[in-house]
Amino acid sequence: MFMLLPIVAVLAAADPAPAASSAPRPTPLTEIGRVRALPACVPIVAHANGAITQALDNDRTLAVLSTNLHNTNFDKLNFMQRKNAIDALMKQAELMRIASSAGDVEVKKLREYAAASPDPKRKEELKTFADALGGALYRQKKAAVELMRDVSIMQGREDAAEARGLMRAANPVPPYAAAQAAANTPAILPGVPDSYNKQFKGIGDVLDDLTKGIQMDEGTAADHSIAATSGC
């Protein structure tokens, strides 16, 4: 599902890299390969890898979305270029939302296996693994929905501002009231952002905050992945 967003824009220079954190990095999530120490539970591995694939694809999509939200100069795009860029963001977010839901179907199967396991240790490991992976997919879906919601609100306000402008054009202000109307009209019409870059960077910041939680959930899932999918 992953692809680069077809945004026609000139990217600004990236911000300086943040200082390295002393906190240990979560274990990277990877697809589950052959388990050598213990025989793999093939059906469980199949569902686990199905969910992991969706989560990893979403990670890459989130990274592309964040990069474009932070670095694309939306203010310098003309109307059509900006519309195409926003449409691309929305389509990619929708694909991420769909992928998260597909991954959640796989997680539900893992929870069913956990509930049916007669081994208390494996039951605990598999449930912890499934819950963590499900948490990552939920946060990814939340990120997609948040982006689409914020952009839709922004577009709705712009449409309302445009409608007000058309109404003013169709009903011109009488000359004696023109000066007063000009004095009471803000420099930026309500609903029209004074800076698209600021608006979209704010959305990108929200996605970055959600990504931190996703990485923690994925790290927990990775730590329990071998024990959860082996020993059958």
More confident residue, 96 or 22: 96
Q: What CATH number did the domain enclosing 220 receive?
A: 1.20.58
* Contact by Cβ (8 Å): 144, 66: no
User: 66: pLDDT confidence band, cut at 50, 70 and 90?
Assistant: very high
Q: Which domain holds residue 138?
A: 42-172+190-229
* Contact by Cβ (8 Å): 27, 224: no
How many helices and strands in the chain, by DSSP H and E?
Answer: 5, 0
Exposed / middle / buried, residue 221 (Cβ in 10 Å: 0-12, 13-18, 19+): buried
Residue 15 lies in a domain: no
Give the mean pLDDT of 106-115: 96
Residue 29 lies in a domain: no
Segment 23-49, tens digit of pLDDT: 678 899 999 875 444 566 889 999 999
Residue 27 lies in a domain: no
Segment 129-167, tens digit of pLDDT: 999 999 999 999 999 999 999 999 887 666 555 555 545
Give the CA angle between residues 113, 116, 120 to the nearest 5°: 100
More confident residue, 186 or 79: 79
Query: Which residues, 6+ apart, have CB-to-CB distance to 93 below 8 Å?
Result: 65, 143, 144, 145, 147, 148
Residue 16 lies in a domain: no
Give the CA angle between residues 84, 58, 207 to the nearest 5°: 70
- Give me the pLDDT at residue 232, please: 72
Residue 60 lies in a domain: yes
- Give me the pLDDT at residue 13, please: 38
How many structural domains does the chain have? 1
Residue 64 lies in a domain: yes
For the chain, give the percent of residues with pLDDT over 90: 62
Residue 32 lies in a domain: no
More confident residue, 105 or 22: 105
In the numeric block, the tokens 């931190």 are attached to 212
Residue 141 lies in a domain: yes
**pLDDT over threshold 90, residue 60:** yes
